[in-house]
Amino acid sequence: MALEGSEREGAIIKMLDLRDYELVFCDGSDNEAHYPADVNRLRADIKASDGLILGSPEYHGCFSGVLKNALDLMRFDEMQGKMIGLLAVSGGPLGSLIGLSSLREVGRSLRAWVIPEQVVVPEAWKVFREDGTLTSPQMEERLVDLGRQVARFAHLHQSGRATDFQRIWEQAVQNPGADAAGKDTG
**Taking the CB of residue 47, how many other CB atoms lie within 10 A of it?**
14
Cβ(40)–Cβ(48) below 8 Å: no
Read off the CATH number of the domain in which 154 is found.
3.40.50.360
| Residue 26 forms part of a structural domain | yes
pLDDT value at position 132?
Answer: 87
Total tally of structural domains belonging to the chain? 1
Cβ(122)–Cβ(95) below 8 Å: yes
H or E element in which residue 5 lies: helix 2-8
| Residue 186 forms part of a structural domain | no
- Phi, psi (5° rounding) for residue 113? -105, 110
| Residue 56 forms part of a structural domain | yes
pLDDT value at position 158?
Answer: 77
| Residue 85 forms part of a structural domain | yes
| Residue 182 forms part of a structural domain | no
| Residue 178 forms part of a structural domain | no
| Residue 184 forms part of a structural domain | no
Tens-of-pLDDT digits for all 186 residues of the chain? 999 999 999 999 999 999 999 999 998 888 898 899 999 999 999 999 999 999 999 999 899 999 999 999 999 999 999 999 999 999 988 778 888 999 999 999 999 999 999 999 999 999 999 998 999 999 999 999 999 999 999 988 777 666 777 777 778 777 666 565 556 555
Look up the domain containing 113 and give its range.
2-171
108: three-class secondary structure by DSSP: helix
pLDDT value at position 166?
Answer: 72
pLDDT value at position 139?
Answer: 94
| Residue 185 forms part of a structural domain | no
pLDDT value at position 98?
Answer: 86
Can you list the alpha helix ranges (DSSP code H) found in 30-159?
A: 37-47, 65-72, 76-79, 97-109, 124-127, 137-158
Cβ(146)–Cβ(87) below 8 Å: yes
